[in-house]
């Protein structure tokens, strides 16, 4: 079973942020910290909607708590 690239919506002590994790487990990009989870989810939607985004194949979104 191979790993798939994925988006993550992360809750931290500072707030919410989104990140993209490649199939090899490497964190490729991360947004700024937002006050609301919805803002982090919107960042993923915007990244997925771009035509130049190499992360289009990532369909999984995970919610992670790192507090």
The span from the CA of 64 to the CA of 47, in Å, is 19
Both structure tokens of 9: 């919506």
CB 4 within 8 Å of CB 62? no
- CA nearest 10: which of 23, 22, 31? 31
- CA nearest 62: which of 5, 23, 7? 7
State the pLDDT at residue 30: 95
Instruction: Return the domain boundaries, the chain.
Output: 6-62
For residue 9, the Cα-to-chain-centroid distance in whole angstroms is 5
State the pLDDT at residue 53: 55
**CATH code given to domain 6-62:** 3.30.160.160
State the pLDDT at residue 45: 86
State the pLDDT at residue 65: 97
pLDDT tens track of the chain, all 67 residues? Answer: 568 888 999 999 999 999 999 889 999 999 999 999 999 999 988 877 655 555 556 578 899 999 9
């Amino acid at each position: 079973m191979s790993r798939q690239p994925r988006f993550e919506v992360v809750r931290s002590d500072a707030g919410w942020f989104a990140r993209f994790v490649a199939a090899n487990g490497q964190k490729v990009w991360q947004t700024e910290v937002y006050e609301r989870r919805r803002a982090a989810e919107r960042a993923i939607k915007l990244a997925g909607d771009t035509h130049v985004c190499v992360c289009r194949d990532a369909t999984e979104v995970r919610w992670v708590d790192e507090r």
